[in-house]
Amino acid sequence: MSELSEVYYRGPGQKVLCAVGIDHNRSEDDAIALGLDRVQLYGHVPGRTVTVERIEGILAGARDRGLAYFTYDDFADGAPATPGLALSFDDAGIDAWWTIADLLDQYGARVTFFIAYYEGFTPAQRDLLRALSARGHAVAAHSVSHLRAPDYAERHGLEGYMRDEVRPGAESLRRDGHAPRVFAYPYGARTSELDRTLLAEFELVRSVTFSRDSLVVVDPCPE
């Protein structure tokens, strides 16, 4: 399947990464199984966009395959290209993420949370995110308002996107003790110009591949 051609992590030096969706409106189970064999999977809200049962099936699949877990910070550190799974959750579903914290611990899973809408987090939700980080999970950046980067950059320029959507979100996370090193594109929408601009301030960027989203005309993952 060509749309999954870049979901492999190929080792240090790879700066643009790509993940396969696990949400029920993103992928069928066979696509998830293929993605599990190829390292990178992402979802959004446990219990709403993806069932906890599906998440546990993925964790069990990783266990049965003998896969190690990697966060995107591990990739930024130059993790070798060995069999493993990078599972991430996007946006702002902090309350739902906390409900699976014990499940992740049960399987020894370390995941990455790509955060958008952080200014809307309550103090209690910010505490939950810090608690997830303390359990060994990574916290990374996903913009302020989850807007499509190429569209915003076309209207306001690359610097406008960085000024309005990227830097404020990352700075808010840093003020609360996090150290976002990786940026995930909202909707996976990216261009090579955006890649170059973001990689001047982040160590890696992540896009996503869609197998069922009819709104995506061109797959955003690199060929």
What CATH class does 2-209 carry?
A: alpha beta
The CB-side HSE value for 69 (13 A sphere, CA atoms) comes to 21
Residue 162 in tokens: 């960085």
> Cβ neighbours of residue 120 under 8 Å, at least 6 residues apart?
92
Q: One digit per residue, pLDDT tens: the chain, 223 residues?
A: 233 335 667 788 889 888 878 887 666 666 666 556 556 788 999 999 999 999 999 999 999 999 999 999 999 999 988 889 999 999 999 999 999 999 999 999 999 999 999 999 999 999 999 999 999 999 999 999 999 999 999 999 999 999 999 999 999 999 999 999 999 999 999 999 999 999 999 999 999 875 444 344 344 565 4
- Which among 186, 192, 223 is positioned nearest to 208, based on CA atoms? 186
Domain extents in the chain: 2-209
Q: Which of 213, 215, 212, 195 is nearest to 17 (CA)?
A: 195
